[in-house]
Structures are given as C-alpha cells and as structure tokens.
C-alpha cells in the first residue's frame, strides 16, 4: 500500500480531465476504483469533492488516498533468487509517484540501492517488481547511501534514463536533504566548499577532507534546534560525492545524529532514550526537469525513526520542505536552460 499523498498539478497538465490525469500518474488504477474514491471523497481537488470529468488547473493539489497495488500486472520477468514476496511488497509500498517516464521511491533506511561486499539484498535486485506495464526494467539513475532514507528516482525507459542522467551530470537537479546534527552550527547557514578524498583502511573505505581531493559543495541552513544540543539542518548538495553530507557535517563540528563512522561518540545524544541510534539523514525532496517538459518535484515523508526523533525533539516537520526557496530562482536561472 502506498501512503496518503498530495500531488500538485503541473503547467503541462493544465486543462487535463481528472480521470485522464490519474491514468497518466497511476495507470494501474481502474476507472471504477477512481469513481469509488471520488464518491467517498477520498480523492479531493484543493480539499473539495469533484467528479472525474473536472479539468485540473496548474497549482491545484490533488489528494491521493493510499492505493493498493493488488491490480498490478503480473511480472513479465523473474526476480532475483534472494528476493522474497515480502521484499517485493515492501518496495511496492515505498512507491510515492509513478508516470510513463519515472518512478519515485521513498527508500527505507537500511536498504542498499546496489549490491556490494556482504550485501545481497538491494533495490537493484528487485527492480523487476517495479516494471508494471512497461516492456523495460526500471533503471537506476542516482544513488543513496544504505542508511539514508528518502526520494530515489528510477527511469522507466532507456530514453528517460539518458535524459535524467544528463540532468544529474549537468547539475540541473535540485536535491534537498533533512538531517538532525548534534550541536548547533556556529554559522546558521552558508556554503561548505571542501574537497573530499576516498581513503582505504582496515575498517573499509572512508571519505576525508583533503585539499587535493575532488571538489564538494554543500549549501546548508538551520531550520530549528533543540536546546542547542541538536539541530534540524536542511542541505542542498551542488555536487554528489560519496558521503559528502556526512563528512561536511562532521567537519562543521556538528556530525549527523547516529553517524558513528564520521562523528564517533559525538554523533550520539546522551540520555536521549526516545531517539534510535540510526543515521538521521533523509532525502526529502528532488526537483528536476521532467522528460515531458517543465520542472517537477517529488517529496518523501520522513522515515519512521526520524519521525520519532522529530516528535521527541519538538520539531514540526510541516514547518518547511525547502528552506532554500528564497534564492532558488537564481539557482534555477544558472542551472536550467
């Protein structure tokens, strides 16, 4: 089951009938089921009950109820041997958006995107389960660390993959991460421009600040803090280096909560029994040029352990999604043709 969500009507969808809008975004949802949702008021347009024939207007917000995926087509290809039905259902439950070109998943913390040493269960091994009605298997176009949760985009065709990969490489993708860091940054918002280098050790690969490494840039802003002991930090990476946000936060003197690899014992709050000892880093939103045209945004709810911490620390997750909006127009003009 996909959780309750709200999707904003985009410019290129202006004037489209509501039932055709659903056909584009949720092709496996039958018309009869949509009509049932509308009769019960489970689907709403700007909070109001409507009929399937109404034409949507740019900027309107469509309420999408939790959708069961029992009507999904049978898989055309076999799954990897180590993937169970429970794994498939978990991944299907993580789908937060789907159209003809992309699928967006709210990746659970602890699930790897690709395999590696000692990692046999990962999203790449389960992509066939997200094929639905398409002839092609979905394709990975970017990565998230295993312990990082949040928005992960998948391309549904080779053409879409090429388009989106180019967008990532040319920095036309706007990514927003939320984190809890231990302590309070001395400067509440700014830009971190610090080169990073991978180093191997007997404990495995680790990334360190090194002036001879690859340039890494992160914009950050303080959203809220709890008694100066922990801070809700929003970050917008301009580059995509391995462990970039984790290293940059540690170098600020405020390691990400739960990140013992880069923060050691300083990455944990003493006496905070209401907080899980997991990495508190979440890919909250991605804005990107859509293959159909226009600029599109996908937003992902916090993972369960981070929701728990937000409540414990007194943070209001509805306060903001993207605190960088005040200079975003300039960023857009510089990065998107």
CA–CA–CA angle 66, 97, 68 (5° rounding): 30
DSSP annotation of 158 reads: H
In the three-class reduction of DSSP (H, G, I as helix; E, B as strand; rest coil), residue 92 is classed as: helix
At which of 73, 93, 117 does a domain end? 73
Q: What distance in Å separates the CA atoms of residue 157 and residue 29, rounded to the nearest whole number? A: 21
If asked whether residues 182 and 325 sit together in one domain, one would say: yes
pTM of this structure: 0.74
At which of 32, 54, 73 does a domain end? 73
CATH number at residue 236: 3.30.2350.10
If asked whether residues 66 and 179 sit together in one domain, one would say: no
Output the furthest CA–CA distance in the chain (Å, rounded): 63
Within-domain flag for 86: no
What is the reported pLDDT for 326?
54
Within-domain flag for 169: no
The parts of the chain modelled with pLDDT lower than 70 are: 1-3, 27-28, 68-82, 116-120, 201-203, 325-337
If asked whether residues 312 and 179 sit together in one domain, one would say: yes
Which position among 99, 100, 145, 322 bears the catalytic label? 145
Q: How far is CA 211 from CA 89, 198, 208, 241, in A?
A: 45, 12, 10, 14
If asked whether residues 181 and 316 sit together in one domain, one would say: yes
If asked whether residues 66 and 205 sit together in one domain, one would say: no
Within-domain flag for 178: yes
Within-domain flag for 36: yes
At which of 10, 39, 73 does a domain end? 73
Q: Report residue 91: phi and psi, to 5°.
A: -70, -40
Within-domain flag for 242: yes
DSSP annotation of 326 reads: G
What is the reported pLDDT for 117?
62
Within-domain flag for 147: no
Beta partners for residue 190, in sequence order: 220
For the stretch 30-54, pLDDT in tens is 788 899 999 999 999 999 999 999 9
Residue 162 · residue 215 · CB < 8 Å: no
In the three-class reduction of DSSP (H, G, I as helix; E, B as strand; rest coil), residue 13 is classed as: helix
What is the reported pLDDT for 51?
93
* Domain span holding position 321: 174-330
If asked whether residues 206 and 325 sit together in one domain, one would say: yes
What is the reported pLDDT for 77?
45
If asked whether residues 190 and 53 sit together in one domain, one would say: no
Q: How many residues does the chain have?
A: 337
Within-domain flag for 197: yes
For the stretch 82-113, pLDDT in tens is 677 788 888 888 999 999 899 999 999 999 99
If asked whether residues 49 and 181 sit together in one domain, one would say: no
How many structural domains are present in the chain? 2
Within-domain flag for 293: yes
What is the reported pLDDT for 337?
45
145 part of the active site: yes
What is the reported pLDDT for 70?
45
What is the reported pLDDT for 283?
96
Instruction: Identify the CA nearest to 243 among candidates 232, 256, 228.
Output: 256
If asked whether residues 326 and 204 sit together in one domain, one would say: yes
CATH number at residue 46: 3.10.290.10
């Amino acid at each position: 089951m996909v959780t309750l969500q709200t999707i904003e009507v985009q410019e290129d969808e202006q004037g489209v009938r509501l039932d055709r809008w659903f056909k584009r975004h949720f092709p496996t949802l039958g018309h009869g089921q949509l009509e049932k949702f509308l009769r019960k008021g489970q689907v709403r347009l700007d909070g109001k009950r409507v009929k399937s024939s109404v034409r949507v207007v740019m900027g309107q917000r469509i309420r999408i109820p939790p959708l069961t995926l029992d009507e999904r087509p049978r898989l055309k290809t076999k799954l990897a041997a180590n993937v169970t039905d429970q794994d498939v259902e978990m991944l299907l439950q993580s789908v937060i958006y789907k159209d003809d070109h992309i699928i967006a998943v709210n990746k659970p913390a602890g699930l790897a995107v690709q395999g590696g040493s000692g990692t046999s269960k990962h999203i790449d091994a389960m992509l066939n389960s997200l094929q639905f009605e398409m002839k092609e298997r979905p394709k990975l176009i970017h990565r998230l660390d295993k312990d990082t949760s949040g928005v992960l985009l998948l391309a549904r065709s080779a053409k879409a993959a090429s388009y989106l990969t180019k967008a990532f490489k040319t920095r036309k993708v706007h990514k927003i991460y939320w984190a809890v860091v231990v302590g309070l940054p001395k400067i509440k918002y700014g830009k971190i421009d610090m080169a990073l280098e991978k180093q191997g050790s007997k404990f495995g690969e680790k990334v360190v600040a090194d002036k001879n490494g690859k340039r890494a840039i992160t914009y950050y802003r303080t959203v809220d803090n709890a008694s100066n002991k922990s801070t809700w930090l929003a970050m917008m990476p301009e580059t995509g280096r391995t462990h970039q946000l984790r290293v940059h936060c540690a170098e600020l003197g405020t390691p990400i909560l739960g990140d013992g690899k880069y923060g050691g014992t300083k990455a944990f709050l003493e006496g905070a029994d209401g907080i899980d000892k997991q990495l508190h880093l979440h890919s909250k939103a991605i804005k990107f040029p859509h293959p159909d045209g226009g600029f599109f945004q996908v937003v992902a709810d916090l993972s369960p352990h981070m929701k728990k911490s937000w409540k414990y620390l007194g943070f209001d997750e509805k306060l903001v999604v993207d605190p960088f909006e005040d200079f975003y127009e300039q960023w857009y003009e510089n990065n998107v043709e």
